[in-house]
Structures are given as C-alpha cells and as structure tokens.
Amino acid sequence: MIPISDDNPARRAAYVTWGIIVACSVIYLWERSLRGEMNAAILILGFTPAEYFAGGSRPAGTVVVSPVWTIFTSMFLHGGILHLAGNMLYLWIFGNNVEDAFGHIRFLLFYFLCGVAAALTMAYVAPISHVPMVGASGAISGVLAAYLLLFPRARVTVIVPLGIILYPLAIAAMWVIGFWFLLQLISAGLANPGQPGTAWWAHVGGFAAGLFLTPLLRARQTRLFSDGRRGPWDR
C-alpha cells in the first residue's frame, strides 16, 4: 500500500515538516552533484555502528566526523531518488498533523529524538557493522507512531496494486500504519542487520521511540486516539 493523502486537515502551517523536506531534497541534490564522490560522502557522513562503538577510528589520512554527529547528518542523506521520494512522501502526508498536535519546537525535538533512537537501535543490533546508515526513515517511523496514537481513525487514501491496476482505497490510519509496522518487524526478523540493505531495526527503534515520546511531547489540549478531525479545543 502506498499512501497518497489523508482526510485530516491541519490547523496551522507545518513549517518544520516543510523545512525538513526541503533540507533533505537540497542535500540530495548536493550528493548527486558530487558524482563519483557521493559514496565517499555517505561513508563520512552516514552513521556507522562499528565506528560509533570504536570512537570513530579510521586509517590515518581518512576524513573523520564524530560518530555522534553522524547520527544527525545521516538523517538528511539518502542513497537514491526512490529512497528520498518514499521518505518525503510519508513525511508530507503524516508530518503536518503530528506537528500540528505537538507545536513546531516540540515536533522538531521529537523528530530528532526518534532519529537518534533509530540510529542507536541499529547500532546495538549490529554493533560491528561497517555499513553506513543514511535516511530519514528512522525519524519518520516515529512520526508514524505519533500519528497512530493521535489519529488512529483518520482516513488515509492508499494505492493498492490489483494486478496491473492501481486501485485507490481509503483506510483508517491504524490499519495502514499497523500493517506497515508489522512488515518492519517481519523484515527485521528475517534480515541480516550487518549487511547492506534497508535498516529495518532502525524503523522499529524509531517507531518505539515515537510511541513512548508522543504522550510526553504532545500539546496538552491534544488528546490521544482522536478521530482525526477537529476536536472541542479548536477555535
């Protein structure tokens, strides 16, 4: 299922969500401008578990960025256009409502905390991995968890492939996000976390952080398990 929209209008502009989308897109264009050096940039600025536990040790003459900083730089890097497009699509659809429910500053803090949790989850699952992790999906997984808690009954329009036909279908968010998270758990259990590929455990870690942090960081007047429409606190 590919989500394309929801019926959950936000009350205020999602400046942080838009800013993250623009930042990731601009940084991806910078990556592409490097051409043959793009992989080197990912190696330097991506988050590598083995370097995190080793304190960033590399051969002499190699550019080293503190492993702590790469937790944050890795959130803005992407390995390809489909990687970027998929992440930004999910953030575009679900991020504005979560930002609306948190407020701009708390949402930004929430986003980065979920991204940190995602990176550290991957680090502890594959502590000797030398594969750099990049992408915003760990932080966005936390955004999906927040949306699930805040607006489980909001309707999300998804594209479901039926043979060669792409069929649009409106489904409650709890089923769309619940099915998505089930796939992450299954994939994480089947994959070798030390090999190149999707960082499934980062998705699981970011989602778990989102579930934990949402009740703590949401605005007071925003209740959990809403129907996805304006509540009695709106004016």
Q: Which CATH number covers residue 46?
A: 1.20.1540.10
Report yes or no: 154 and 173 within 8 Å, Cβ to Cβ.
Answer: yes
DSSP 8-state code for residue 155: E
Long-range contact list for 29-36, CB < 8 A, 24+ apart?
31/77, 31/78
pLDDT attached to residue 187: 93
**SS3 assignment, position 170:** strand
In a domain, 22, yes or no: yes
In a domain, 224, yes or no: no
In a domain, 37, yes or no: yes
pTM value is: 0.89
**What does the alpha-carbon distance between residue 19 and residue 23 come to, in Å, rounded to a whole number?**
6
In a domain, 234, yes or no: no
In a domain, 229, yes or no: no
In a domain, 230, yes or no: no
- Tokens 């998705």, residue? 203
Locate 126 and state its tokens. 């594959």
Q: What is the mean pLDDT of each run of 10 residues along the chain (235 residues)?
A: 90 95 97 89 92 68 76 95 96 96 96 97 92 95 97 93 83 95 94 85 96 90 65 34
Q: At residue 199, what are phi and psi to the nearest 5 degrees?
A: -85, 75
Helix count and strand count (H, E) for the chain: 9, 3
pLDDT attached to residue 59: 52
In a domain, 153, yes or no: yes
Domain with 118, as residue range(s), is 2-217
Domain count within the chain: 1
